[in-house]
Amino acid sequence: MRAIVIHQAKDLRIEDCLAEQPGPGEVAIKLASGGICGSDLHYYNHGGFGAVRLKQPMILGHEVSGHITALGDGVSSFAIGDLVAVSPSRPCGHCSYCAQGQHNHCENMRFYGSAMPFPHIQGAFREQLVAMESQCVKADGLTAGQAAMAEPLSVCLHATRRAGELLGKRVLITGSGPIGSLCVLAARAAGAVEIVVTDLSDAALAYATKVDADRVINTGTDPDALNAYATGKGSFDVLYECSGAAPALTGAIPAMRPRSVIIQLGLGGDMTLPVQAMTAKEIDLRGSFRFHEEFATSVRLMQAGQINVEPLISHTMQLDDAVAAFELAGDRSQAMKVQLSFG
Ligand SMILES: [Zn+2]
Ligand SMILES: [Zn+2]
């Protein structure tokens, strides 16, 4: 079987590797769809991000779906042929964080396609994948592409839970990439009444409009547009910061209400923040990292028709064209979510 392996920056190869057999409690999956994520792009473009560097070849990918082809001993919840979304989250289940239900903070996490630990955790962009039964969620009624969106949607659902109650709230989202755009859907599903999205790219903002953001603002060409939201000590109850860019966060502070909540999702390295203004407004700054139990919720919300991710899948390309797909995924003037078709 073939897999997509990153060796170093700009050195992405399609390689043959051995298919595994499912052990007890495991299933074999013929991959159908794999979404290219920002972290995959960091490995492709820069060989890593921050202090995380590739030290050995690694199979990329963690946003995947496919069809069950074989069942290991004891597997009872799936049948051959089932379409499943596969969660890349594999916590150990026995460390102190797992015991507290904070699985995303597992001390022994084996998240697909991550060079954080060494040896690296191999990813899921491979024609055949063996996964634990517990990682899989039946995705009947969805397309393979929609099922593969469960992972980034889970990131946004986790962020939404970190934000607290959103019913009737006004929300600002900075950064209209796949995560920012999916946060529009997540915030709406959670009851937000007004959602404003900012970015520097009109092409990216067009996707926020497609998923029914109430207003989009290009803060590059219209730098004063947020001023109108700063009157009366601010307008927004929640900020999802999805750009990782310090000017986006600092520029949003005047528009935030006292005791509002900022959820930091973007990973852009260190930032200098207006702590004085944030303190005077009693703003809560909260990180959000990955997800765990939200994965199954993502699939259910899509199946129930409460969240429609379809407008955000901008391109579907064949496995053979993986390099071109990675180039396209990095081009914000064209692409939102680029998915690879393995079937
Ligand atoms: Zn991802
Ligand atoms: Zn653990």
**Each residue of 292-341: pLDDT tens digit?**
999 999 999 999 999 999 999 999 999 999 999 999 999 999 999 999 99
Cα separation, 137 vs 110, in Å, equals: 18
Q: Is the overall model pTM greater than 0.85, yes or no? A: yes
pLDDT by residue (tens digit) across 89-121? 999 999 999 999 999 999 999 999 999 999 999
Range in 81-90, 185-194, 260-269 with the lowest mean pLDDT: 260-269
Q: Which ligand is nearest to the CA of 124?
A: 1
**Cβ(232)–Cβ(151) below 8 Å:** no
Ligand 1 centroid from CA 39, angstroms: 7
Cα separation, 276 vs 257, in Å, equals: 15
Report the DSSP beta bridge partners of residue 263: 240, 286
Cα separation, 161 vs 283, in Å, equals: 17
Which residues have beta carbons under 5 A from ligand 2 (an ion)? 91-92, 95, 98, 106
The structure tokens listed for 10 are 């700009």
Ligand 2 centroid from CA 96, angstroms: 7
Ligand 2 centroid from CA 250, angstroms: 35
The residue count for the chain: 343
Ligand 2 centroid from CA 117, angstroms: 14
Ligand 1 centroid from CA 40, angstroms: 8
Query: What pLDDT was estimated at residue 49?
Result: 86
Query: What pLDDT was estimated at residue 51?
Result: 86
Given a cut of 90, is residue 50 above it in pLDDT? no
Ligand 2 centroid from CA 42, angstroms: 26
Q: Which ligand is nearest to the CA of 100?
A: 2
pLDDT by residue (tens digit) across 237-250? 999 999 999 999 99
Ligand 1 centroid from CA 224, angstroms: 32
Q: State what percent of residues in the chain have pLDDT above 90.
A: 97
Q: Which ligand is nearest to the CA of 105?
A: 2
Residue with tokens 């970190």: 162
Determine which helix (DSSP H) or strand (DSSP E) holds 247, and give its type and residue range.
Answer: helix 246-252
The structure tokens listed for 47 are 């060989």
Q: Which ligand is nearest to the CA of 64?
A: 1
**Class of residue 107 by CB neighbours under 10 A (exposed 0-12, middle 13-18, buried 19+):** exposed
> What does the mean pLDDT of the chain come to?
97
Ligand 1 centroid from CA 314, angstroms: 16
Question: Count of alpha carbons within 13 Å of 221, Cβ hemisphere only?
Answer: 7
Q: Which ligand is nearest to the CA of 43?
A: 1
Assign 6 a pLDDT band (cuts: 50, 70, 90): very high
Cα separation, 25 vs 135, in Å, equals: 10
Ligand 2 centroid from CA 304, angstroms: 31
Q: Which ligand is nearest to the CA of 267?
A: 1
Cα separation, 27 vs 278, in Å, equals: 49
pLDDT by residue (tens digit) across 165-195? 999 999 999 999 999 999 999 999 999 999 9
E strands in 17-122: 26-35, 48-49, 52-53, 58-59, 63-71, 83-86
Q: Which ligand is nearest to the CA of 36?
A: 1
Given a cut of 90, is residue 343 above it in pLDDT? no
